[in-house]
Chain A
């Protein structure tokens, strides 16, 4: 059983389209991080969301933390080929005292 489930698992879209990636759990997290990983590289931190209902924007990327702090979403507007990569959510799970990563969403944006 995965504590942080991401959906969709794979996504292939055309340049210019919008998309949303979801990160869901049955557990409450004090904060969640989002990372992007490009092929052959390590994950790069994008953002931390730490308050229920919080919305953060990073250029064309909008991150939201659920009111109950059990889920988060990442919305990309007008996707570009440079957005291609593996998107990971992660957070500290107080029940297991572990920092855990989500199952990942692999995004491919076609020119």
Chain B
């Protein structure tokens, strides 16, 4: 148990569906992240939120829409996905602070295994 929970753990959706992934962190961290992990590819950072504000969007297609209502919750809204979007979606959090190595330590949830049919 890392203090970061994700729901659902598994999701199968058609290309015309709309669904949302949810992440909650219980660590009091001030930054949250969405990552995509596909087979045979390194972890890809998708979005970063610091103090609820989006600070990074790594050229993610608009069919992925993040939402961060507060520092503890993060959502990823999905619509009109493609089969190549099938992957493990991981949420992480960290406590970002000036000049400390621990700022970069990330705590991950268990992930949502997404299959787009």
Contacts and interface: CB of A to CB of B under 8 A. Distances in A.
Interface of A: 2, 30-31, 33, 35, 40-45, 48, 50, 88, 90-92, 98-104
Contacts of A43: 43, 90, 106, 108
A92 B104 contact: yes
Contact of B90 (A42, A98, A99, A100): A42
A48 B102 contact: yes
Contact of B105 (A40, A45, A98, A101): A45
Interface in B2-49: 2, 4, 6, 42-43, 45
Contacts of B56: 98
Contacts, number: 56
Contacts of A48: 101-102, 104-105
A30 B108 CA distance: 22
Nearest to A30: B101
What does DSSP make chain A's interface, helix, strand, loop or mixed? strand
A44 B2 contact: yes
Interface string B85-108: 000001010000000011111111
Interface of B: 2, 4, 6, 42-43, 45, 56, 90, 92, 101-111, 113
A42 B102 contact: no
Contacts of A92: 103-104
A104 B42 contact: yes
Contacts of B6: 42
Closest A-B pairs by Cβ, 4 of them: A42-B108, A50-B101, A31-B101, A101-B43
A45 B43 contact: no
Contacts of A101: 42-43
B91 to A, nearest CB: 8
A92 B108 CA distance: 17
Contact of A45 (B42, B45, B107): B107
A21 B110 CA distance: 24
A98 B109 CA distance: 20
Contacts of A33: 104-106
A42 B92 contact: yes
